[in-house]
Structure 1
Amino acid sequence: MDIFWVVLGFVLLVIGGEYLVRSSVALSFKFNISRMVIGMTVVSFATSAPELLVSLQAAISGSPDIAINNVVGSNIANIGLVLGLTALVGSISVDKSFYKINWPGMMLFSIAAYYFLKNDGLLSQVEGIILFLGLIAFLFVLIKHSNKIKVAEEVDDTLAVVSNFRIGIWLLIGAVTLYFGSDVLVDGAKGIASSLGVSEAAIGVSLIAVGTSVPELAASIIAAAKQEKAISLGNLIGSNIFNIGSVLGLTAIIKPIPVSSPEILSSDIFWMLGFSAILIPLILIPKRLEIGRIKGFILFLAYGIFMYFLFTSEGVKL
């Protein structure tokens, strides 16, 4: 039954996320916000909503390990799973803005999250505010350099003529499905963790993290298969920054997040930092500024090794 609740939770999160993105973009057009700014800010915030609701629901319901490792696991999955599999389908070109803006920003946020959690075993309200304000500052830098950055996020122009009534309905559907989706997903994940005899932290960094990355994975693979140029490593890395700045930041502002599982600071978060750091040598070795099939295989293999060590350390026979 727990598996059913997890699957239902994922379905509701996908539906809720889609309707929230639509309504947010349509509402932004009503306020005459430029298409570029919508893609960089509004869409990014809206697509982070499922992770935000899951982490917030987990923190409030007394499962801080799920709240933290949902973000840590999603950031690992974005690079190892999503980027790795997408590169296996088709090579991904890397824009120079990646190592000038996006990668330094991701490393800065990742190191800040580690420091805040390691310092006193708690992501406090003040630290959450710092992370969120840091995200706002990062967005200002992105917008300032927008003429030099290739924005891959497609914004549907047809949403500019949507009626206010339809926007309201979409917002309602998105809010309700996200709320109930996060609720049943967290409850189901707790049940699975209990039945398997593994920690909630392990479920958060694996099952929940992969589940919340599935929509992005599907979209990236389809785009790569069609040889579309809309795939941007910068946008993928941007989602990692949003996960830390908005998901962890806003969750901590509402409910401070304690670290109750030592594995988070002794293992999981180092995997996140490692996957982030390895991108620089990968894009600088031949072929430069390109992630091809071999590099994609390396990332995917590393993700498989991470999952293997994760569950064997929990005593699960694979």
Structure 2
Amino acid sequence: MENIGFVILGLILLVAGGEFLVRASVGLSFKLNISKMIIGLTVVSFATSAPELLVSINAALNDSPAIAINNVIGSNIANIGLVLGITAIIGPIAVNNTFYKLTWPVLMIFSISIYYFLWNDNLLSMLEGIILFIGLIVFLVILIRSAQKNKDEIDIEEVDDAVATVSYMKIFIWLTIGGLALYFGSEFLVKGAKAFALDMGVEEGVIAITMIAIGTSVPELAASVIAAIKKEKAISLGNLIGSNIFNIASVLGITAMITEIPVVEAQILSRDIFWMLGFAFVLFPLAFIPKKFGIERYEGVLLFLAYITFIYLVF
């Protein structure tokens, strides 16, 4: 039970730390006179990937490479199967043109790249990490240019205007709290997950792709469900895909730049990564059929059932 306690405490700290980091980053960006659109597309996206990033770095440095990889694979599967599935069940989701022209193709390129990098030599090397990260920067430049041209087309993360007037002192305090919470949260989570896997007699990757991935997707799920119930524009497809691109390119990219990540559990390449590729691929036909520019309720049910099937097969 103690290990489950560590996992839960770790997740709570990661969620809280991520929230403080987002606020501090946005506040600082306003101080530096960065436009709201760029803050939404870059700063918020980087900050919301911070919990996954710290978990992967911590796991890779503590001889748990399976947690480092499956934390990202599981998070990407959960974003589509769990978060998008449940949000679409509450109310249909609109899809815009940028999804077809930019974000979905880029997601597929990154997903296939990470599969190739891992399959090629059972290792994500420093060079491959650098390639992923440079790819992310190129994608962001294209996205920002595209957003400046077609303002209505790009899904920009919500930016809280209230933080614009916050003092430097408050930003510093938020950064400190956020940083400490993320650090200790990742420590507790990785330590608890390793011990829990040992107790349960399952591989670390199994815990990472289920418990850790669902835990780090809870904030997105809560925000999406609340928005969908209030009939506001729910967390859009663009933002979820953006989150998946960031997970691969910044989380695995930066982690591999710090320390190489070997593939130590066979099921990562024989099963888990194919589920991630499948969930990413299926978005395109779902958004096209039966009617273009929308994901319907029953398609949400299909995504959710596919996610439940995946969790069942993993265990």
CA distance in 1: counterparts of 2:120 and 2:253, whole angstroms: 16
* Cross-structure match for 1:42: 43
* Cross-structure match for 1:223: 227
* Cross-structure match for 1:202: 206
1:287 Cα shift?
Answer: 2.6
Report whether the alignment pairs 1:145 with 2:146.
Answer: yes
1:150 Cα shift?
Answer: 2.8
Matches within 5 A, 1:165-184: 165-184=169-188
* Cross-structure match for 1:211: 215
CA distance in 1: counterparts of 2:6 and 2:126, whole angstroms: 31
1:266 Cα shift?
Answer: 0.6
1:232 Cα shift?
Answer: 1.3
CA distance in 2: counterparts of 1:87 and 1:70, whole angstroms: 24
Which amino acid in 2 is paired with 1:131? L
1:288 Cα shift?
Answer: 2.1
1:191 Cα shift?
Answer: 1.2
Which amino acid in 1 is paired with 2:286? L
Which amino acid in 2 is paired with 1:86? T
Report whether the alignment pairs 1:288 with 2:289.
Answer: no
Identity of aligned residues (%): 64
Does the 8 Å CA contact 1:88/1:293 hold for their aligned counterparts? yes
1:190 Cα shift?
Answer: 0.8
1:153 Cα shift?
Answer: 1.2
* Cross-structure match for 2:84: 83
Matches within 5 A, 1:1-318: 1-146=2-147, 147-148=149-150, 149-311=153-315
CA RMSD of aligned residues (A): 0.8
CA distance in 1: counterparts of 2:17 and 2:45, whole angstroms: 15
Which amino acid in 2 is paired with 1:51? E
Which amino acid in 1 is paired with 2:263? V
1:230 Cα shift?
Answer: 4.8
Deviations, residues 67-91 of structure 1 (Å, cap 9, x unaligned): 0000000000000000000101111
Does the 8 Å CA contact 2:80/2:280 hold for their aligned counterparts? yes
Does the 8 Å CA contact 2:88/2:297 hold for their aligned counterparts? yes
TM-score of the aligned structures, taking structure 1 as reference length: 0.97
Q: Once superposed, which parts of structure 1, at least 4 consecutive aligned residues long, lie more than 3 Å away? A: none
CA distance in 1: counterparts of 2:16 and 2:288, whole angstroms: 38
Matched residue pairs, number?
Answer: 311
TM-score of the aligned structures, taking structure 2 as reference length: 0.98
Which amino acid in 2 is paired with 1:301? L
**What is the SS of the residue equivalent to 1:145?**
helix
Does the 8 Å CA contact 1:132/1:250 hold for their aligned counterparts? yes
CA distance in 1: counterparts of 2:155 and 2:239, whole angstroms: 7
CA distance in 2: counterparts of 1:288 and 1:141, whole angstroms: 24
**What is the SS of the residue equivalent to 2:235?**
coil
CA distance in 2: counterparts of 1:88 and 1:63, whole angstroms: 36
Does the 8 Å CA contact 1:193/1:203 hold for their aligned counterparts? yes
Deviations, residues 52-81 of structure 1 (Å, cap 9, x unaligned): 000000000000000000000000000000
**What is the SS of the residue equivalent to 1:278?**
helix
Which amino acid in 2 is paired with 1:40? L
CA distance in 2: counterparts of 1:7 and 1:250, whole angstroms: 25
CA distance in 1: counterparts of 2:155 and 2:304, whole angstroms: 25
1:231 Cα shift?
Answer: 2.6
Unaligned 5+ residue runs, structure 1? 312-318
1:152 Cα shift?
Answer: 3.9
CA distance in 2: counterparts of 1:249 and 1:106, whole angstroms: 14
CA distance in 1: counterparts of 2:135 and 2:292, whole angstroms: 30
Does the 8 Å CA contact 2:87/2:234 hold for their aligned counterparts? no
**What is the SS of the residue equivalent to 2:291?**
coil
Deviations, residues 257-285 of structure 1 (Å, cap 9, x unaligned): 00001100010000000000011111111
Unaligned 5+ residue runs, structure 2? none
CA distance in 1: counterparts of 2:100 and 2:305, whole angstroms: 23
1:158 Cα shift?
Answer: 1.2
